[in-house]
């Protein structure tokens, strides 16, 4: 475990999380999949909780978040929050019925140590929404830096089985009108990626360099109609497998 890296990740979100509350509105269909996976758990830990997205409203939730900026943005009435990191959870063994983490594991300083801690404090299921880095959504055709970043940061699906034992892995199709502004949520709304405000809601755009050239190519292809010709199979889909996965460790 690296305290220095944990501090660095927290500081990074203190800077990049300024628009999260506005841009990362939970999508009800994704929320439903998470809540179903949590089963009948009443006492839930949300690790890397951010501003509180996807926390069930009808259950007792304890949130853990290292970033002061993310904690500041949590709305009144959301779950009680503890400022801490996944790798060092300040709770007793088996303190929670279930645990959840939404697009967070790749930001942890040590994913294996963090998941070991989550399992230590959890009696029942651990539910994780994450991304399979073997996927290459169309945006990586314009910004190959994103594929490199995914390979670098996102744990491969096989690692979760190594760390957690038997797991269930299911595809989470992303609706074409997804309300949450994570990286590949705009797969059928390509012009959104040309908006710097929307891009600011994705940590990946803060982590890559040299995006201007690829975004300019995207702008050109949208104006010329080339994007729609190239990705014509996407434009009539209601939902799309963009690589997002729900991992459940029982």
Q: What is the pLDDT of residues 65-89, one digit of tens each?
A: 998 888 988 888 889 999 999 999 9
pLDDT of residue 154: 96
pLDDT of residue 7: 45
Burial status of residue 227 (CB atoms within 10 A of its CB: 0-12, 13-18, 19 or more): buried
pLDDT of residue 18: 60
Residue 31: both structure tokens together: 């929320």
Strand partners, 43: 60
pLDDT of residue 203: 86
- Residues in contact with 84: Cβ distance below 8 Å, sequence separation at least 6, in sequence order: 64, 65, 66, 90
Hunting for tokens 């830990």 — which residue is that? 45
pLDDT of residue 162: 96
Question: Which parts of the chain have pLDDT scores under 50?
Answer: 1-11
Distance, C-alpha 161 to centroid of its chain: 19
């Amino acid at each position: 475990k690296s305290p220095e890296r944990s501090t660095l990740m927290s500081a990074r979100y203190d800077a990049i999380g300024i628009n999260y509350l506005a841009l990362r509105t939970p999508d009800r269909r994704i929320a439903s999949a998470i809540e179903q996976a949590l089963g009948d758990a009443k006492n839930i830990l949300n690790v890397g909780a951010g501003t509180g997205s996807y926390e069930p409203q009808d259950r007792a939730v304890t949130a853990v978040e290292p970033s002061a900026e993310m904690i500041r943005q949590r709305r009144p009435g959301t779950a009680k929050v503890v400022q801490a990191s996944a790798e060092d959870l300040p709770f007793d063994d088996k303190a929670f019925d279930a645990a959840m983490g939404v697009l967070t594991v790749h930001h942890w300083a040590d994913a294996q140590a963090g998941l070991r801690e989550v399992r230590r404090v959890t009696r029942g299921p651990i539910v994780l929404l994450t991304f399979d880095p073997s996927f290459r959504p169309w945006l990586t055709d314009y910004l190959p830096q994103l594929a490199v970043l995914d390979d670098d940061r996102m744990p491969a699906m096989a690692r979760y089985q190594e760390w957690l034992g038997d797991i269930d892995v299911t595809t989470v199709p992303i609706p074409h009108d997804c309300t949450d502004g994570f990286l590949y949520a705009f797969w059928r709304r390509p012009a959104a990626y040309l908006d710097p405000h929307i891009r600011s809601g994705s940590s990946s755009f803060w982590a890559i360099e040299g995006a201007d050239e690829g975004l300019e190519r995207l702008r050109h292809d949208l104006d010329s109609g080339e994007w729609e010709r190239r990705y014509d199979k996407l434009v009539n889909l209601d939902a799309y497998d963009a690589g997002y996965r729900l991992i459940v460790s029982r």
